[in-house]
Amino acid sequence: MAEQTPKVFEVEVDSTNLTHTVRHELIFSIAKRWFVKPAYSKRSQGKLVYRLLPGNYIKFSLFISKKKDYAVITLSHIHIDQNGIEYKDIFEYKTTYTDIMNIPDDINAPYVLAYFIKVMPHYHQTARLDLINYSISETAQELVEEIRNYLQMRGVSQ
C-alpha cells in the first residue's frame, strides 16, 4: 500500500510595524521546540506565510498601540490535521508597550518570549528570524506555564 504524502497547509500571520501600531505573530513548533521559519513574506501586506505539515503549534501574537502605551500578548494552540486547521486560545495578557520592550533585557524572562519580542518587525518591515535556530528543553506545556508565571510575576493584568 502506497503511503499518502501529508498535505501542506498555508497559514498567514501578521507581521507589521507602523507609526502607532505593531502586529507581530510567529508560529512555534511543539514537536521541534523552536520557531518555524516562514516560507515567504508578503511585506507590502504585512504578512508572513508558513507552509505547515499536520501537527501541533503555538502561535505567539503581540499587538501594540504605541500611542496609548498598550500591548496584548496572546498564545494560541494550532492543531493541523488532514481535515484542516483548528485554533484555540491558551491565554492573553494585557500590559504596556514600555513593559513589553523591557522583556528582552530581563535575565529572568523565558528565552522564547524574549526572542519573540526581540525579532519584532522593524518600522515598515516584517519580522526576520535568525538563521541559527535553537531547540529548547521544555515541553510545550512547561513553556506556556513558564511564560504565564513570568508575566504574572511582572504584575501584568489579565
Position 8 pLDDT exceeds 50? yes
H/E element holding 90?
A: strand 84-95
Residue at 3 is within a domain = no
User: How confident is the model over 2-6, as a mean pLDDT?
Assistant: 66
CA distances (Å), origin 7, targets 82, 83, 85, 124, 157? 6, 10, 12, 33, 40
Q: What is the CATH number of the domain that holds 41?
A: 2.60.40.2930
Q: What is the pLDDT of residue 157?
A: 42
Q: What is the pLDDT of residue 156?
A: 47
Direct distance between the N- and C-terminal alpha carbons of the chain, in angstroms, rounded to an integer: 52
Query: What 3-state DSSP class applies to 144?
Result: helix
The answer to pTM > 0.85 is: yes
pLDDT digits (tens, 9 = 90+) for 98-123: 999 999 999 999 999 999 999 988 88
Residue at 118 is within a domain = yes
Position 15 pLDDT exceeds 50? yes
The candidate with the shortest Cα–Cα distance to 74, out of 18, 129, 23, is 23
Task: Return the bridge partners of 73, or none.
Answer: 62, 93
Q: What is the pLDDT of residue 158?
A: 40
Residue at 98 is within a domain = yes
Residue at 4 is within a domain = no
Q: How many domains does the chain have?
A: 1
Q: Which of 15-24, 96-105, 126-135 has the lowest average pLDDT?
A: 126-135
H/E element holding 63?
A: strand 55-65
Q: In which band, very low, low, confident or very high, does the pLDDT at 136 lie, cut at 50, 70 and 90?
A: confident
pLDDT digits (tens, 9 = 90+) for 41-94: 888 898 999 999 999 999 999 999 999 999 999 999 999 998 889 999 999 999
Residue at 116 is within a domain = yes
Any idea what the Cα angle at residue 18 is, between residues 92 and 88, rounded to 5°? 25
Residue at 69 is within a domain = yes
Q: What is the pLDDT of residue 140?
A: 86
Residue at 31 is within a domain = yes
The parent domain of residue 30 ranges over 9-153
Residue at 40 is within a domain = yes
